[in-house]
């Protein structure tokens, strides 16, 4: 009889307003999204449960769709499932009766279709985690001298992860959107917390042409803050700049992964093109220079949203994680 795994791996999908936090990663004495999520997990399972995230976001950056995995000790998992009194086998998650709990289909990458990469969704556990988050972001946060921000983090779904799933290394791609409001858009105070206000009217066509110069597999050193021992080579898979019917400009970028500050640095360069300070070829020229200097100015964090994370079919999860770990090195 095979030995039972000592932990149950869960996939958690969540969204958050990044404004009240100092980024995703836990930091001593500072509020972080990771700390809030892990404290909520501790309230539910009564044991510390470290999380692994698909994409670490900076201070003030938002997420419409973020993915984490967490390994819950089997004893803690069985204690919680038994407390429901449903008679289900411990570790088996129920199918969701509500199709609204299912994730929207993710984009395909190359010839590999992105999948949900999870078992049936557990709405009961999602509700319990959201209740714990309300306490963590309300009373518990106030007790630490921080302003309560109930609702700033919302768990969208919880499911048992399939074998080989790793929220970070199994991911095929991450998609970000950055919103910019210019003279044509107008500066609506209701958009100030999630868009970058710039004064002149931007040339969106020039920006869209410029960003396409960055598509493909490149060393993005010019647009990254390098980490020791980590590669700055990334594959930018999709890149567009457009203006919607309300005039809001959106920069949409999808890559296998992003270096630290990469999206904000790319957006900063594109806005300079849109302002007419540089021609559409300039971002590509900076890319090929492979030099990080003051010519590249980062866009503010609050306009950036992690929009989606895509994963391969379940049978390919473990291999994808193995290949990504080898490629990323100290990333």
**Coil, helix or strand at residue 129:** helix
Burial of 246 (0-12, 13-18, 19+ CB in 10 A): exposed
Helix H or strand E segment including 241: strand 233-243
How distant, in Å, are the alpha carbons of 82, 91, 209 from that of 85? 6, 14, 59
Could you give the angle at the alpha carbon of 196 between the alpha carbons of 195 and 202, nearest 5°?
115
Residue 240, φ and ψ in degrees, nearest 5? -140, 155
Q: Largest Cα–Cα distance in the chain?
A: 69
Residue 75, φ and ψ in degrees, nearest 5? -60, -45
**Coil, helix or strand at residue 214:** helix
How distant, in Å, are the alpha carbons of 36, 210, 283 from that of 133? 7, 42, 42
**Which residues have a catalytic role annotated?**
58
- Tokens at 221, concatenated: 């050193």
Q: Find out whether 176 is annotated in a ligand binding site.
A: yes
- Termini Cα distance of the chain: 38
C-beta separation of 20 from 31 below 8 A: yes
Of 110, 168, 118, nearest to 325 by C-alpha is 168
- Tokens at 207, concatenated: 């920006």
Residue count (the chain) = 331
Residue 233, φ and ψ in degrees, nearest 5? -85, 125
Alpha carbon 239 to chain centroid distance? 17
Residues comprising the binding site?
Answer: 176
Residues comprising the binding site for substrate?
Answer: 176
């Amino acid at each position: 009889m095979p030995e039972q795994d000592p932990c149950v791996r869960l996939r958690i999908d969540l969204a958050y307003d990044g404004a009240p936090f100092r980024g995703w990663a836990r930091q001593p004495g500072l509020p972080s999204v990771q700390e809030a999520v892990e404290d909520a997990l501790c309230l539910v399972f009564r044991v510390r449960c470290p999380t692994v995230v698909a994409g670490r976001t900076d201070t003030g950056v938002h997420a419409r769709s973020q993915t984490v995995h967490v390994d819950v000790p089997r004893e803690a998992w069985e204690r919680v499932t038994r407390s429901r009194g449903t008679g289900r086998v411990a570790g088996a998650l129920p199918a969701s009766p509500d199709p609204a709990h299912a994730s929207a289909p993710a984009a395909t990458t190359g010839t590999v279709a992105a999948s949900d990469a999870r078992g049936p969704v557990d709405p009961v556990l999602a509700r319990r985690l959201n209740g714990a988050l309300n306490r963590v972001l309300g009373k518990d946060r106030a007790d630490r001298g921080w302003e309560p921000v109930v609702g700033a983090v919302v768990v969208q779904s919880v499911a048992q992860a399939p074998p080989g799933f790793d929220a970070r290394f199994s991911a095929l791609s991450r998609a970000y959107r950055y919103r910019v409001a210019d003279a044509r858009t107008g500066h609506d105070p209701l958009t100030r917390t999630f868009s970058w206000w710039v004064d002149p009217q931007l040339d969106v066509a020039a920006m869209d042409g410029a960003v396409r110069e960055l598509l493909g597999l490149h060393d993005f050193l010019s647009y990254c803050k390098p980490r020791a021992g980590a590669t700055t080579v990334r594959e930018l898979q999709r890149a567009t700049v457009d203006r919607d019917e309300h005039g809001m400009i959106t920069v949409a970028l999808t890559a296998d992964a992003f270096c630290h500050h990469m999206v904000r640095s790319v957006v900063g360069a594109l806005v300079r093109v849109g302002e007419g300070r540089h021609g559409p070829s300039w971002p590509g020229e900076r890319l090929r220079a492979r030099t990080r200097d003051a010519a590249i100015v980062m866009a503010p964090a609050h306009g950036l949203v992690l929009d989606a994370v895509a994963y391969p079919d379940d049978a390919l999860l473990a291999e994808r994680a193995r290949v990504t770990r080898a490629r990323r090195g100290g990333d």
